[in-house]
Amino acid sequence: MQRTDIKSQLKSFFEEEFPNPGASLTDDTNLLDDWFVDSFGIVNTTLFLEEQFGILISRADINAVTFRSIESLSQYVANQMNSIDRS
Amino acid sequence: MTGLLGDAPVSKKLQQENDRHNPVMVLAVLAFLVVYIYLFTYASKSLDLPMPQDLSESLGLYVDHVFDVDRNVDSSLYVPFTWVFIKNDDERLVLFLGAGFAFLLVYFIPFEHKQRSLVFSSLIIIGVLYGMEGVSGLLCAHSLVYLILHPVSSFRLWIAFLPGFFGFWTFDPYMLLGSNVLIQSLLAGSISVLIYRYGILRLLAFSPAAKILRVVVVQSALITVFIGALIEGWLTGPWKLALGVLLFFWHWERLFMYHIDYQDGKIPKNISLMTYLSVFLTPGQISNWNWGATIGQGYAYTVNNFLCEDKNKLVMSGLQLWTVSLGYLIFGSWIHAGLLDFFNDQGILVYGRIEHMSSDFVFGSNLGPATVLLTTLLALMKWTFSWGGVLHFKVGLWRVCGYKIAPYFNYPWLSTNLVTLWSRFTFHYREFLVRAFYYPVFFKFFKGHTHLRIFTATMAAACFGNLIWGHMTEAMFYSNIESNVLLLSLKQWPYFVLLGLGITVSEFWLLHKKKTSRRPWTPDKYIGWDVLSAYVTLQYFALIHVFFYTTPEASLSDNFRLFLTGFGF
């Protein structure tokens, strides 16, 4: 799956799951500052990522670097998918 | 919300840019504190000014349930566990003056000393309010934790002197009056250096022992509660904690969060003792020390939110919270009493306290659903006003001192489901339960089984963690470390189970409900559903408190019958 596809699916998910009328979500929007509400937002996102992309997320991956933006999160998803493909 | 996941600390350059003075803000903070002093202390009497009730009556405003017998405003804002002063009013005066001192110091002192200044001013306020035993107990316990979590510190052997030195004063502060006290405390400090150098450091070099030691210090409150209850139950009388140790135990949940940050590698190993202390010792924690004990959370949240935006903007947001706090503190009891009178005038029996209703029910009174529903709802409302007033003051003080801390209490009556209510009612405590219990279960068990995964994680946090780590220990710190207190607190288990189940159901609903871009409380044709959802959410949360605020004579069956009465059975 291409990075652009991953980004597109992430964007749709965030806009639908955490609607933020009046704000526009870009690849670089700070998800932690400007989009997520709290730690339950992370839980829902985790469920989505695991189901949609077939990856497994560990607690150590729940950090501000990974979840900073769609850009960083899509990179993480792509890496996880690659590591699954290789194994 | 940057600190939620422990983002990288905000840059020093940005913090310095945010450190610009504005005299108007300084005057505004001081003016607010003067209002607090006027309303909630004896200061006006000392200055020969009209007391708040006199002033109110001179303006033609005669209101009940606002003022207390000494004619100032009755308040839930207080300083607990201190007997240095006779009156709460005096303690509040020290608190407000201390808050002003801490604010001026942190506002004007050069940037590199700001967080240290908050430790310094906190210790001064604690010293005045709790005496030397409070200060020494905190310093003894925290320096010990620091030495075990950060054994690579440059000055560790010097710091190892502190647990013994302050420990000596913690357990018998009146020895300070003796002639040999200095020699004895120096000797105790020297012994603690030797114990650390030749005992603890060697254990810390051995990985399994280091791990056990770290868990022991972080879980010391829970361990103390269990051991204390066993000793009381089997051997001797109640175990009385030294005041400073008790104050330290009220830092316990935050220490837990600190340890999670530590395990996640978010804390530099060689941070200084002062940086460590700045996480725990802030003026915002002092009023109602035991309420909202998780505000500030652990290291990452505290450090990342200090001066992360313009400090005057932070001060302004703190003052906004103080304004709302005043509203809750002044009018909470008045609104509650007015509603009680209203319903009772309509012929609907409504009790002022759930315990009274529980007692009457156990002794044979026939209560209807309206009585149960309204009593629990109004009791929740009263508690909410007190809770909101105090928590807004505390978070406001954190903000005034430069921390961008999320509101602990955020209009819970706007919650349209229990997941939101949990967050809006006790945000930082909920974050503690999620990070300490929810995440470890959620990311480890039942992957691939979404519902089972959510159910177990929620019950681990809202039920198990909340009951054992959050409630049971606190119940014993409030009362005595006795086995019967432990058993009584565990008797409230149905409240925690029903809370966990309610939140689980809400999570399932949120997971599967049709997603729309509509936000709750948008003024459109669906707003009626928001009102109904909010009522059902609050009523359920209020009703399960029949298992919490129960009379000691009530059996489990009595409580369940009362609970079901609320549903009309």
The count of domains in chain B is 1
| Nearest of B128, B136, B74, B76 to residue B102 by alpha carbon | B128
Nearest chain A residue to B8 by CA distance is A64
Note the pLDDT of residue A68. 84
Of the candidates A21, A38, A57, the beta carbon closest to that of B4 is on: A38
Note the pLDDT of residue A37. 54
| Nearest of B306, B316, B279 to residue B402 by alpha carbon | B306
Inter-chain touch A32–B518, beta carbons under 8 Å: no
A23 touches chain B (CB under 8 A): no
3-state secondary structure (DSSP) of residue B239: strand
Please give the residue range of the domain that contains residue B429: 411-569
Answer yes or no: is B250 within a domain.
Answer: no
Interface test with B, best of A20, A59, A61, A72 (most B CBs within 10 A): A59
Interface test with B, best of A20, A43, A47, A53 (most B CBs within 10 A): A43
Contacts of A60 in chain B (CB under 8 A): 264
Number of other CB atoms surrounding residue B497 within 10 Å: 17
Contacts of B4 in chain A (CB under 8 A): 32, 36, 38-39, 64
Contacts of B438 in chain A (CB under 8 A): 39, 43
3-state secondary structure (DSSP) of residue B206: coil
CATH for A3-19+26-86 (1.20.120.160, 1.10.1200.10, 3.40.50.2020, 3.40.50.1820): 1.10.1200.10
Inter-chain touch B438–A21, beta carbons under 8 Å: no
Q: State how far the Cα of B263 lies from the Cα of B258, in Å rounded to an integer.
A: 9
Q: State how far the Cα of B483 lies from the Cα of B486, in Å rounded to an integer.
A: 5
Nearest chain A residue to B441 by CA distance is A59
Expressed in percent and rounded to 5, the helix, strand and coil fractions of chain B are: 70, 0, 30
**How far away is chain A from the Cα of B345, in angstroms, using its nearest Cα?**
43
Residues listed for chain B: 569
Taking only the tens place, the pLDDT of each residue in A47-60 is 999 989 999 898 88
Contacts of B516 in chain A (CB under 8 A): 19
Answer yes or no: is B63 within a domain.
Answer: no
Answer yes or no: is B539 within a domain.
Answer: yes
Q: Does the predicted model carry a pTM greater than 0.95?
A: no
Answer yes or no: is B22 within a domain.
Answer: no
Structure tokens at B176: 């300070």
Expressed in percent and rounded to 5, the helix, strand and coil fractions of chain A are: 60, 0, 40
| Nearest of B211, B214, B138, B219 to residue B468 by alpha carbon | B219
- The answer for B503, left when phi > 0, alpha when psi is -120 to 50, beta otherwise, is alpha
A56 touches chain B (CB under 8 A): yes
Note the pLDDT of residue B3. 45
Contacts of B434 in chain A (CB under 8 A): 39-40
A47 touches chain B (CB under 8 A): yes
Structure tokens at A38: 């709290």
Contacts of B440 in chain A (CB under 8 A): 59
Note the pLDDT of residue B348. 95
Q: What is the largest CA-CA distance in chain A?
A: 43
Note the pLDDT of residue B63. 85
Contacts of A62 in chain B (CB under 8 A): 5, 439, 443
**How far away is chain B from the Cα of A33, in angstroms, using its nearest Cα?**
5
- The domain spans of chain A are 3-19+26-86
Note the pLDDT of residue B568. 87
Answer yes or no: is B448 within a domain.
Answer: yes
Inter-chain touch B442–A46, beta carbons under 8 Å: yes
Q: Do residues B96 and B329 make contact, with C-beta atoms less than 8 angstroms apart? A: no
Of the candidates A17, A37, A67, the beta carbon closest to that of B515 is on: A17
A38 touches chain B (CB under 8 A): yes
Answer yes or no: is B365 within a domain.
Answer: no
Place of tokens 């006790």: B426
Note the pLDDT of residue B173. 63
Rg (CA), chain B: 25
**How far away is chain B from the Cα of A77, in angstroms, using its nearest Cα?**
17
Note the pLDDT of residue B479. 75
Contacts of A39 in chain B (CB under 8 A): 4, 430-431, 434-435, 438-439
3-state secondary structure (DSSP) of residue B481: strand
Q: State how far the Cα of B242 lies from the Cα of B136, in Å rounded to an integer.
A: 10
A42 touches chain B (CB under 8 A): yes
Number of other CB atoms surrounding residue B31 within 10 Å: 11
Note the pLDDT of residue A5. 92
B517 touches chain A (CB under 8 A): yes
Note the pLDDT of residue A6. 94
Each of the 569 residues of chain B gets a pLDDT tens digit; together they read 444 555 556 889 999 999 999 999 999 999 999 999 999 999 998 899 999 999 999 999 888 888 988 888 988 899 988 877 878 899 999 999 999 999 999 999 999 999 999 999 999 999 999 998 899 999 999 999 999 999 987 789 999 999 999 998 887 766 556 667 788 889 999 999 999 999 999 999 999 999 999 999 999 988 888 887 777 767 666 677 888 888 999 999 999 999 999 998 889 988 999 999 999 999 999 999 989 889 988 998 899 899 999 999 999 999 999 999 999 999 999 999 999 999 999 999 999 999 999 999 999 999 999 999 999 999 999 999 999 999 999 999 999 999 999 899 989 999 999 999 998 999 999 989 999 999 999 999 998 899 999 999 999 999 999 999 888 888 877 777 777 788 888 889 999 999 999 999 999 998 888 777 777 888 999 999 999 999 999 999 999 999 999 998 899 999 999 999 999 88
Which residues on neighbouring strands pair with residue B73, listed in sequence order? B67
Contacts of B431 in chain A (CB under 8 A): 38-39
Query: What backbone torsions phi and psi does residue B198 show, to the nearest 5 degrees?
Result: -105, -5
3-state secondary structure (DSSP) of residue B465: helix
